[in-house]
Amino acid sequence: MPAALDGARVVAALERGRSVAEAVCLARDLVNQPGGSLTPTAFATRAEELAALRHFDIEVLDLDAITDEKLGGLLGVNRGSSEEPRFVRLAWDPPAGTKSRGTVALVGKGITFDSGGLSLKTADSMIGMKGDMAGAAAVLATFSALDAVQPPVAVRGYLPLTDNMPGGDATRVGDVLRIRNGKTVEVLNTDAEGRLVLADALSLASEDEPDAIVDLATLTGACMVALGLKVAGLMGNDEAFLDQVRAAADAEDEPVWPLPLPDDMRRQIDSEVADMKNVAGARWGGALIAGVFLQEFVGDDVPWAHIDIAGPADAAEDDVETRKGGTGFGVRTLLRLLGDFRRPRSR
């Protein structure tokens, strides 16, 4: 191999590594920002700045547009806040002439601060809730590196952004919300809000008929109880696609562990007044219940993976490769997955 060609490949690899590292640092910085300054509108503005700089498309929906789109989960969570919600849609396409392997949708939970709403958290439990938007941060950071990494797939992003506050008109326990896909949800715990905003985002992503969907969310403390602080939970509806996600995570040393979505758990979220309720009556299997809930908002024929990053999204102390605070978990996995993606089913 000519030395010049070999050198060019080294330079390209170094540039790719730099871009991925910058994306991880971006996600960390976003997670570390206080919820009082990184409001939904501030997050959306940062996304617009990155879109102009890193060459991807963006659409930001304000309160009126969110209402027009019938995003009832996002609107319901936002009712107690003085900060308006935003919904951010992102798009990136590979360069002309690239043989595309399909379209992958990335969904990120974007709760910029989580007080628990009227189901108010304790003071200790509220610490760290500025990072409840780590899923959205990981997706936005991934988009920031796409033009440099150039995976052979079209990528779409869906970021529901709001804080969850106990204001005077906050969603009450027992209220019923209608999600984008028409299904209704009885809210029995306003602190189980992430699944409500993700329901709208997954519905929108499914409508766009991608070849696969991945969502990332700091969703349940139950997943941390099950897997600890450094391993994410992996659930979904298509084993072949889950294998791809796990292979990408393993390659990037961002550990995930597969968890089941048992069909018989669905009846635990049956509601007497709506299509479902947002929590089960018992405390057991909380991470799985959340996954079963989310599955209701994914199209039947769309391969989908849910990654619960509640544990590894934030580090309680300095570690080998991360400092205390946001870790940027999931960015490397997503970029590897997009680069290696194969359609898990014929469409």
Active site residue 130: no
- What is the CA 169 to chain-centroid distance, rounded? 27
Handedness of CA 122, 278, 180, 328 (dihedral sign): positive
Selected catalytic residue, list 16, 70, 121, 343: 121
Q: CA-to-CA distance for 192 and 173, rounded, in angstroms? A: 11
Selected catalytic residue, list 79, 86, 130, 195: 195
Question: CA-CA-CA-CA torsion for 74, 202, 234, 249, nearest 10 degrees?
Answer: -110
| Cα separations in angstroms, 319 against 16, 30, 94, 257, 314 | 24, 19, 36, 21, 11
Active site residue 195: yes
User: In DSSP terms, which residues pair with 277 in a beta bridge?
Assistant: 186
Cβ–Cβ under 8 Å, residues 72 and 180: yes
- Tally the C-alpha atoms within 13 A of residue 295's C-alpha that lie toward its C-beta: 22
Q: What backbone phi and psi angles, to 5 degrees, belong to 306?
A: -115, 125
Cβ–Cβ under 8 Å, residues 111 and 133: yes
Whose structure tokens read 């300095």? 318
Q: CA-to-CA distance for 231 and 66, rounded, in angstroms? A: 34
Cβ–Cβ under 8 Å, residues 164 and 81: yes
Instruction: Give the residue numbers annotated as catalytic, written as ranges.
Output: 121, 195
